Structure 1
Amino acid sequence: MILKNKVLFLFFLLGLNIGFSQKTKDIIIGEKISVFSDTLNQERTILIHLPKSYNDTIYSPKIYPILFLLDAQDHFELTTGIANFMSNRLDSKLIPEYIIVGINSENRISDYTPSNSTIDPEGVFVDAFKVSGNSSKFLNFIEHELLPKIRRDYRTSSFKILTGHSLGGLTAVSDFISDDSLFDGYLAIDPSLWWDEGLLTKIVQSSEFNQEEYYKKKIYISGANNSNSINDTTAMRVNQVKFYEAVQSKPNIASKVKYEIFENEDHGTVPLTSIYKGLQFIFENYKMHHMLGASANEIQEHFNSISKTLGLKLLPEERVIDILGNYFLDSTKEIEKAISYFELNIINYPNSYHSYFSLANAESKNGLLSKAKLNYEKSLELKPKFKQAQEGLASLEVRSDN
């Protein structure tokens, strides 16, 4: 109960003041750019959302996973809002921050279908489907044209997620089961797995399907109720269930697939819940419970473990550890614990002028004046005109004279 009250008190103190050192008059969720694709022979509109910490001037520059979002014109604002909520809750973070790269759709039938088929779920010919079957070309555009540009222009890690709805979800599932899949995680929101008479399910069921590769990649598949009755017997639901049953029969990938049905949502409303729940699944166990009561070593061990599981190096966030360290230093007067938190930041962010400054402050309060002096000096070495470190160093000299 005491620990719970500490957590609530910390949120009361800091919950409304967890922003970053950025000054702007406008609330900006992203930027729009145009990329000409030689592969697709057309200009594509791309929406970019950077995490809140991307331009922070206090803490060390970070690299970020990338989430590629299909049909960005419909889902960009929703996805950025969910991402910010899930990744900016101090010690209640559900996921790491990541860069969102939204791709506006031009011709969904062409871009998002893995094969050429002109038949709808009821077996009826659809003339508009004649252009289908170009998802491999579309994914080639992402891999060889868009991704290199994003990596050149922004600080990114190697970890990538693909999120798609409906036919976009079909693209996500198609890449997930391919031998040369591009992404590490997938969100397939109410995917159109009825396409081409359940083609993707047949691929998984075939003897040629390669399941010998060790799958670190994960996919979250959601389903909605698209019928007018309690029991959804539409082609959308039936084919999703068939695909899920097929992958569950493959022991190497069964645990990497989660299928969740939302009976109270329809095809249009299901993205909201799916994105939230899907990201939780991709970053399962990312959240460290009771971080406030944990030692610095326990925090590091948690992030080492989740990094190994995901195949992505994740560190305790410098800002969070610094805030918690100062909470122990100033509010609870646990100076030794505060020092261990600041030392953890220096281990993970050795070029952070602010981490050396925070450690020096704690050491100064603990009477470790020679150590504090060295760390103030290190902070100034990294940021020569850092006024607070200059003042801290000057205060040590006064104390030494006395």
Structure 2
Amino acid sequence: MKKLILILIHLTIAYFLKAQPPQQPIVLGRIDTVYSNILKENRPLWVYTPGYDTNYFSKPEFPVLYVLDADDHFMSLVTMIKELSATAGNTVLPQMIIVGVLNTPGHRTRDFTPTNSTMDKSSGGGENFAAFMEKELIPYIDKTYPAAPYRTMIGHSLGGLTAINMLLKHTQVFNAYVAIDPSMFYDNDNLLKQANAILKQKSFDGKKLFLGFANTMPTGTDTLQVKKDTSEISHHIRSIMKLADNLAANKTNKLLWVKKYYPDDDHNSVPFNAEYDALRFIFKNNRFPGNQPYNQYFNKQYSAAQLRQMIDEHYKAVSTERGYTVRPPEADMNGIGYAFLQQKDYEKATMFFQVNIDNYPKNFNVYDSMGDCFLARDDKANAEKYFKKALSIKYTKEIMDKLDKVQAGK
């Protein structure tokens, strides 16, 4: 369970460069395993964790995204989220841990069906799978990885049915749910028939749902005509549309949800586009600062005080929305502080370093950075004060040498 193995098969893309030895892998995550006492089996996982440097910065916390059918969706989600959360300063999405839940041989239907159907004797293990997720998998991830208390679940097809079952019957487990072309027709619409009553009776305050569905209608049929259709081929999309009608009819349960129909996608092509739209919906308020026409932090129309107010207000709002304290990224604040220090904009450099002191007061580096700022301003008294504070938390020769030079020059 504790053994983590770098993914070299399935999760790597081998590529060759002239200056490098052959077959150097790009590592997208790790293979992990958790034993389930509920399911009586080892459950394989693929896990991606954003990189972070604890030599200088505090250990961060990341929202966690759980995706079913990991062999189909994990790699595309890793690249998508890295692109939109880190590449070129993107903050469209937060950086997050991605937990890919793989199926065990022959057990997908068992795990992803909430009721037993006469069509498949192996079906109906969905409640056990839900218990595994809640009582075994999530506690393990929370203990093993730097997980923040904000969880999103993505499921497609029968996995989407599982996501809806979790939303309706195990609402508290996740903060956000993504159901992509869910198989709501399963077992003669069994879960669908329960949905309206549950949506009426239950509060979903603070929960989000993205419902995406593909064009699985008979050729020549539109979304109005298909509701009157009774053929088996349209049962899948009709059941999803009925779920959407139920969701729309219950406006007082506080569920924040959206639906999106993808007319140009079929059941198998819809996941990628729907995952992108779902994550943009769930984390729509994450982006900060603005990057058009250029990075807001470096827009000279804003004073240091105005920027500090914007930072405080943004992260307070995001914290309220997610239900836990979301702090400005320490490494980003530090890097921007040094950028202003190089420009000799000492007021803004001081402000960014102070943001880190206020949010990460137990880390030595925040005080070392402020010491550098005062040293650049030739304020040796304050430089000495902050270098001493940094050393009181963690001794490093580099900071000690700076302190010695400051004291020798007094």
TM-score normalised by L of structure 2? 0.82
User: Alpha carbons of 1:26 and 1:393: their partners in 2 closer, same or farther (altered >3 Å)?
Assistant: farther
Identify the residue that residue 275 of structure 1 maps to in structure 2.
Answer: 275
For residues 68-93 of structure 1, give each alpha carbon's deviation from its aligned partner in whole angstroms, at most 9, with x where no partner exists: 11111221111111221222146531
> SS of 1:35's equivalent?
strand
For residues 313-337 of structure 1, give each alpha carbon's deviation from its aligned partner in whole angstroms, at most 9, with x where no partner exists: 2111111111222222213x32101
Identify the residue that residue 160 of structure 1 maps to in structure 2.
Answer: 151
User: Alpha carbons of 1:398 and 1:261: their partners in 2 closer, same or farther (altered >3 Å)?
Assistant: farther
RMSD, matched Cα:
2.2
Which residue of the other structure, out of 74, 77, 91, is the alignment partner of 1:76?
74
Identify the residue that residue 226 of structure 1 maps to in structure 2.
Answer: 216
What is the distance in 1 between the residues matched to 2:218 and 2:379?
71
Identify the residue that residue 305 of structure 1 maps to in structure 2.
Answer: 317
Provide structure 1 residue ranges, at least 5 long, that are not aligned to the other structure: 1-24, 119-125
For residues 267-303 of structure 1, give each alpha carbon's deviation from its aligned partner in whole angstroms, at most 9, with x where no partner exists: 2222222222211211121112434145123202111
Identity of matched residues, %: 28
Q: Mapping of 1:329-368 within 5 angstroms?
A: 329-331=341-343, 333-368=344-379
Identify the residue that residue 12 of structure 2 maps to in structure 1.
Answer: none
2:40 alignment partner AA: N
User: Alpha carbons of 1:181 and 1:272: their partners in 2 closer, same or farther (altered >3 Å)?
Assistant: same
Identify the residue that residue 135 of structure 1 maps to in structure 2.
Answer: 126
> SS of 2:155's equivalent?
strand
Conserved? CA contact 1:90–1:320, under 8 Å: no
Structure 1 position 236 matched with structure 2 position 236:
yes
> SS of 1:60's equivalent?
coil
Provide structure 2 residue ranges, at least 5 long, that are not aligned to the other structure: 1-23, 227-233, 291-295, 300-305
Per the TM alignment, residue 353 of structure 1 is displaced from its structure 2 partner at its CA by 2.1
> SS of 2:58's equivalent?
coil
2:389 alignment partner AA: K
2:246 alignment partner AA: A
Identify the residue that residue 39 of structure 1 maps to in structure 2.
Answer: 38
User: Alpha carbons of 1:212 and 1:150: their partners in 2 closer, same or farther (altered >3 Å)?
Assistant: closer
Runs of 4+ in 1 over 6 A off after TM superposition: none
User: Alpha carbons of 1:186 and 1:398: their partners in 2 closer, same or farther (altered >3 Å)?
Assistant: same
> SS of 2:203's equivalent?
coil
User: Alpha carbons of 1:312 and 1:95: their partners in 2 closer, same or farther (altered >3 Å)?
Assistant: farther
What is the distance in 2 between the residues matched to 1:396 and 1:166?
65
Identify the residue that residue 205 of structure 1 maps to in structure 2.
Answer: 196
> SS of 1:131's equivalent?
coil
TM-score normalised by L of structure 1? 0.83
Conserved? CA contact 1:179–1:210, under 8 Å: no
Identify the residue that residue 121 of structure 1 maps to in structure 2.
Answer: none
2:361 alignment partner AA: P
What is the distance in 1 between the residues matched to 2:285 and 2:199?
30
Identify the residue that residue 249 of structure 1 maps to in structure 2.
Answer: 249
Aligned length in residues: 363
